[in-house]
């Protein structure tokens, strides 16, 4: 059985994702489609609008055979650590290929870019450091560094965020010499961050915007997602009464910051260079979460970076919690969230030879990484009423979802 | 000018308090009535139903001349530390006497009790320790120990909670040989913890119950409080939209516990003997704050003690924060909340000779005790919307309230 891996967030799962699964399956000639998916908090530092289990069910209904969880300490990170966690999870799950979407749709561009990068790595790092020292944000400094080594514009523009993620996957595969074939397919016309919907294929950003603005599933939103997603969105709302947004967490994270000392805040992952003082100072005037980030934002601290930091404050994730993740060469376990019969057959074949344990539910003796995951889940559900959060949390204790 | 000190919480300020002020003033032949008042969290481990400033205004309108704040790390404590903070604050403010309410109304009973206690202190402590070792709660073990040394029943029953506080004040005065005359006056007929209201004098407990049950100031409640209190209650509600109860803080404290490790929880003041595991375990099933405490409660951990612990969790107050308080012989400063002209005259006379600083608003360089106070205030207002909490917090930065 040939397996193809996808790196996903499915926030929410939409028609563009269905298209990507189908195209990837053809390109990879795969029998089993494996997705590694972020949990309740996402790479750009946001809560997912619905929880992971409801997103898993939508994916299993539309072509994914196996859903593995990207553990929290890899999921809410910049591209390098995010790519390491995702690619290593798929590697441990024995995929033959990893297929991601890109604008060029040509994998040779990514491979050539990696070769150019490796040849000029010293120069790149030097340029990056000097940019950071001059007060640039990480993305800005990277952009300058990529420009310097000739990786901007043209066929492979590493100054575009979506190319950066794809490039990071390819880099992790080639750097670690993993026996995985990197593949890419052309993205559908809708841009990654497109804000408005036109037709049945739309960006997740525009779909979320539509859902949250209208606080319901409008006809426009409905047309962009498979029936299984609509069912899961409705089911989630029936438990949780609203979708999750940062504003719902504003009171909790404000409260936490207000009852932490500066030293405690500085121990949180990502809070560096005196940012603790700026976070505390701006809290007093913040009218909303959005307003708070606006007040903190600097050239150096981008919106996305600050959102990620706030997720770590919300979940009380410390620098010391992430240290082992950063230095480790692979992931400590595979957490299985759901599977089809095909996925189950695949898993039965590969599991004897696996190097790391497969975990399904939260166990009594949790790995430190799973302890971080548990705190994130608890924080995610904290905004719900006791009955609902108890009911939804139970999903973490059950066996993985199995569908036909 | 002769000053008499009162130790108060005024939650809320009611007719019984007016009566106590008048009687105390007569008994003490005082020109200036000074109250040391707990801030936003109270001795029994509860949020005050309205903030300190609104309670200060009500008191200044009804016979109190000077209101000093009992700092948070003394206020939310068992009787010994509470008494130390209150009596020492009044001592530093130069009071000639301290007058408290009691059932007997005879100060000689308290003085005699103290003498008996001192003579039998070794036996008392031994009995107390043995009770605690046998799993009794602190109040239960104390009761047995007081019984053993003959301080139960009769004229001076130290097994009654209200007598314990009075006894602790007298003990602090005599033990430290402070130049303060202890005085007591008979309580009005309404018992300290009486649950229902009859007439114009009622317990604070019964008044809070009436206010919170009806979510408004009923005629019954109205009749038990001076007009100034009614005005302040209404004014507070116009800012805060609801009175403060533990249930309003349930989500915050649940969220905090769920994102703390057991080790972090064990560092909180009052969390001892593995209580951290019990708090975490019961959180999952708790339907409300009340339900949570019910699930944690044991013979040893009484309701009041647990509520106090939960205030410390809410405010993130650690064992290490309280260490200096426990070993210190007096309070580090006097925080002035409000005064009448009489109070102001008194203050002008005594302030040259004061040993410790007088602080009015939150300053930039806060004493560690004031840092704890600030965290408590921030936690207290956290449940309000941003606009309201900002507006109410501003009161902490203003000069003290001055009334005619």
Nearest to B255 among A250, A379, A390 (CB): A379
Residue that the structure tokens 């999750």 belong to: A244
Residue A300 and residue A255 share a domain = yes
Question: How close A251 gets to chain B, by Cα (Å)?
Answer: 7
Q: What is the pLDDT of residues B236-255, one digit of tens each?
A: 999 998 899 999 999 999 99
Q: Is B348 a member of any domain?
A: yes
Residue B24 and residue B99 share a domain = yes
How confident is the model at residue A237, as a pLDDT?
94
Quote the DSSP letter at residue B318.
Answer: B
Select the residue from A40, A247, A258 to test the B interface by mutation, using most B Cβ atoms within 10 A: A258
8 Å CB contact of A371 and B286: no
Provide the phi-psi class of A10: left if phi over 0, else alpha when psi is between -120 and 50, else beta.
left
Quote the DSSP letter at residue A146.
Answer: H
Q: Which residue has the higher pLDDT, B365 or A202?
A: A202
Residue A381 and residue A258 share a domain = no
For residues A315 and B277, what is the distance between their CA atoms, to the nearest angstrom? 19
Quote the DSSP letter at residue B41.
Answer: B
Query: What whole-number percentage of chain A has pLDDT above 70?
Result: 98
Number of domains, chain A: 2
Tokens of B321: 């924060």
Q: Is B181 a member of any domain?
A: no
Q: Are B201 and B190 in contact (CB under 8 A)?
A: yes
Residue A251 and residue A237 share a domain = no
Residue B352 and residue B253 share a domain = no
**Dihedral angle sign, alpha carbons of residues A212, A214, A217, A218:** negative
Q: Is B84 a member of any domain?
A: yes
Q: What is the pLDDT of residues B18-29, one digit of tens each?
A: 999 999 999 999
8 Å CB contact of A375 and B284: no
B254 interfacial to chain A (CB closer than 8 Å): yes
Estimate to the nearest angstrom the gap between the alpha carbon of A52 and the chain centroid: 11
Residue B256 and residue B143 share a domain = no
- Write out chain B residues lying below 8 Å of A284, CB-based: 390, 393
- Residue length of chain A: 404
Size of interface A-B (CB pairs under 8 A): 64
Angle (nearest 5°) at CA B72 between B334 and B244: 125
* pLDDT mean over A366-378: 94
Select the residue from A72, A241, A250, A255 to test the B interface by mutation, using most B Cβ atoms within 10 A: A255
Q: Are B49 and B38 in contact (CB under 8 A)?
A: no
Instruction: Report the interhelical angle of B275-283 vs B289-296 (nearest 10°).
Output: 140
Residue A10 and residue A89 share a domain = yes
Q: Kindly indicate the confidence band of residue A152, based on its pLDDT and cuts at 50, 70 and 90.
A: confident
Q: Is B177 a member of any domain?
A: no
Tokens of A107: 């994998």
User: Nearest CA to A69 among A90, A44, A99?
Assistant: A90
- Write out chain B residues lying below 8 Å of A256, CB-based: 256
Q: Is A261 a member of any domain?
A: yes
User: Nearest CA to A2 among A34, A22, A31, A25?
Assistant: A31
Residue B79 and residue B122 share a domain = no
8 Å CB contact of B251 and A285: no
Work out the mean pLDDT of chain A and round it to a whole number: 93
B263 interfacial to chain A (CB closer than 8 Å): no
Estimate to the nearest angstrom the gap between the alpha carbon of B128 and the chain centroid: 24
Residue B354 and residue B284 share a domain = no
B371 interfacial to chain A (CB closer than 8 Å): yes
Omega within 30 of 0 (cis) for the link into B12 = yes
Residue that the structure tokens 């997103």 belong to: A55
How confident is the model at residue A143, as a pLDDT?
87
Question: How close B382 gets to chain A, by Cα (Å)?
Answer: 6
Return all residues near B357 (Cβ < 8 A) that are at least 6 apart.
B333, B334
Quote the DSSP letter at residue B62.
Answer: T
Q: Is B171 a member of any domain?
A: no
Q: Is B113 a member of any domain?
A: yes
Return all residues near A294 (Cβ < 8 A) that are at least 6 apart.
none
User: Nearest CA to B337 among B94, B91, B64, B85?
Assistant: B64
Nearest to B252 among A252, A316, A378 (CB): A252
8 Å CB contact of A255 and B252: yes
For residues B149 and B116, what is the distance between their CA atoms, to the nearest angstrom? 8
**Strand, helix or coil at A263?**
helix
Q: Kindly indicate the confidence band of residue B137, based on its pLDDT and cuts at 50, 70 and 90.
A: confident
For residues B330 and B107, what is the distance between their CA atoms, to the nearest angstrom? 24
Residue that the structure tokens 């600050």 belong to: A306
For residues B88 and A238, what is the distance between their CA atoms, to the nearest angstrom? 56
For residues A290 and A306, what is the distance between their CA atoms, to the nearest angstrom? 11
Work out the mean pLDDT of chain B and round it to a whole number: 93
* Domain-terminating residue out of A269, A302, A323: A323
Q: Is A197 a member of any domain?
A: yes
Quote the DSSP letter at residue A41.
Answer: B
Scored b (16 or more CB within 10 A) or e, B15-26 reads: bbbbbbbebbbe
Tokens of B188: 């009005």
For residues B252 and B292, what is the distance between their CA atoms, to the nearest angstrom? 13
* pLDDT mean over B67-95: 97
8 Å CB contact of B378 and A256: no
- Write out chain B residues lying below 8 Å of A254, CB-based: 382, 386
Q: What is the pLDDT of residues B216-232, one digit of tens each?
A: 999 999 999 999 999 99
Its domain, for residue B360, covers 3-103+186-191+225-244+331-403
Q: What is the pLDDT of residues A324-335, one digit of tens each?
A: 888 888 999 999
Q: Are B260 and A321 in contact (CB under 8 A)?
A: no
8 Å CB contact of A258 and B379: yes
**Dihedral angle sign, alpha carbons of residues B138, B139, B142, B148:** negative
Nearest to A382 among B255, B287, B390 (CB): B255
How confident is the model at residue A191, as a pLDDT?
56
User: Nearest CA to A51 among A274, A270, A402, A376?
Assistant: A376
Nearest to B259 among A259, A315, A393 (CB): A315
* Domain-terminating residue out of A298, A323, A348: A323
How confident is the model at residue B117, as a pLDDT?
93
Residue B41 and residue B73 share a domain = yes
CATH number of the domain encompassing residue A23: 3.40.50
8 Å CB contact of A259 and B314: yes
Nearest to B375 among A259, A284, A315 (CB): A259
Q: Kindly indicate the confidence band of residue B136, based on its pLDDT and cuts at 50, 70 and 90.
A: confident
Q: Kindly indicate the confidence band of residue B194, based on its pLDDT and cuts at 50, 70 and 90.
A: low
- Write out chain A residues lying below 8 Å of B379, CB-based: 255, 258-259
How confident is the model at residue A193, as a pLDDT?
59
**Dihedral angle sign, alpha carbons of residues A386, A388, A392, A394:** positive
Q: What is the pLDDT of residues B331-368, one digit of tens each?
A: 999 999 999 999 999 999 998 889 999 998 887 788 99
Q: Are B41 and B376 in contact (CB under 8 A)?
A: yes
Q: What is the pLDDT of residues A57-72, one digit of tens each?
A: 999 999 999 999 999 9
Residue B137 and residue B68 share a domain = no
Residue B84 and residue B11 share a domain = yes
Whether the per-residue pLDDT at B118 is higher than 60: the answer is: yes
* Domain-terminating residue out of A306, A323, A340: A323
B316 interfacial to chain A (CB closer than 8 Å): yes
For residues A333 and A72, what is the distance between their CA atoms, to the nearest angstrom? 13
């Amino acid at each position: 059985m040939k397996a193809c891996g996808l790196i996903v967030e499915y926030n929410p799962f939409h028609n563009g994702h269905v298209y990507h699964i189908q195209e990837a399956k053809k390109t990879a000639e795969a029998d089993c489609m494996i997705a590694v998916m972020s949990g309740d908090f996402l790479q750009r530092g946001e809560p997912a609008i619905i929880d992971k289990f409801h997103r898993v069910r939508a994916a299993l209904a539309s072509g994914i055979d196996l859903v593995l969880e990207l553990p929290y300490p890899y999921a809410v990170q910049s591209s390098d650590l995010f790519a390491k966690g995702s690619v290593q999870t798929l590697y441990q799950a024995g995929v033959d290929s990893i297929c991601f979407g890109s604008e060029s749709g040509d994998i040779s561009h990514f491979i050539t870019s990696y070769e150019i990068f490796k040849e000029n790595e010293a120069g790149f790092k030097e340029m990056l450091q000097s940019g950071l020292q001059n007060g640039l944000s990480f993305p800005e400094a990277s952009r300058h560094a990529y420009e310097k080594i000739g990786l901007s514009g043209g066929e492979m523009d590493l100054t575009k965020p979506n190319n950066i993620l794809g490039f990071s996957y390819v880099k992790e595969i080639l750097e670690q010499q993993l026996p995985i074939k990197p593949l890419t397919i052309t993205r559908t016309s809708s841009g990654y961050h497109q804000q408005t919907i036109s037709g049945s294929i739309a960006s997740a950003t525009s779909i979320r915007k539509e859902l949250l603005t209208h606080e319901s599933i409008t006809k426009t939103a409905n047309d962009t997602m498979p029936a299984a997603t609509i069912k899961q969105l409705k089911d989630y709302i029936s438990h949780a009464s609203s979708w999750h947004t940062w504003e719902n967490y504003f009171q909790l994270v404000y409260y936490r910051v207000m009852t932490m000392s500066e030293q405690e805040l500085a121990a949180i992952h990502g809070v560096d260079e005196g940012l603790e003082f700026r976070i505390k100072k701006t809290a007093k005037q913040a009218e909303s979460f959005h307003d708070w980030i606006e007040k903190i934002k600097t050239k150096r601290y981008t919106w996305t970076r600050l959102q990620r930091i706030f997720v770590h404050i919300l979940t009380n994730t410390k620098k010391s919690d992430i240290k082992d993740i950063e230095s480790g060469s692979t992931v400590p376990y595979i957490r299985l969230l759901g599977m089809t019969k095909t996925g189950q057959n695949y898993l039965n074949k590969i599991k004897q030879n696996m190097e790391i344990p497969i975990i399904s539910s939260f166990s009594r003796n949790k790995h430190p990484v799973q302890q971080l995951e548990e705190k994130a889940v608890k924080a995610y559900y904290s905004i719900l009423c006791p009955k609902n959060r108890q009911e939804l949390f139970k999903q973490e204790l059950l066996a993985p979802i199995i569908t036909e």
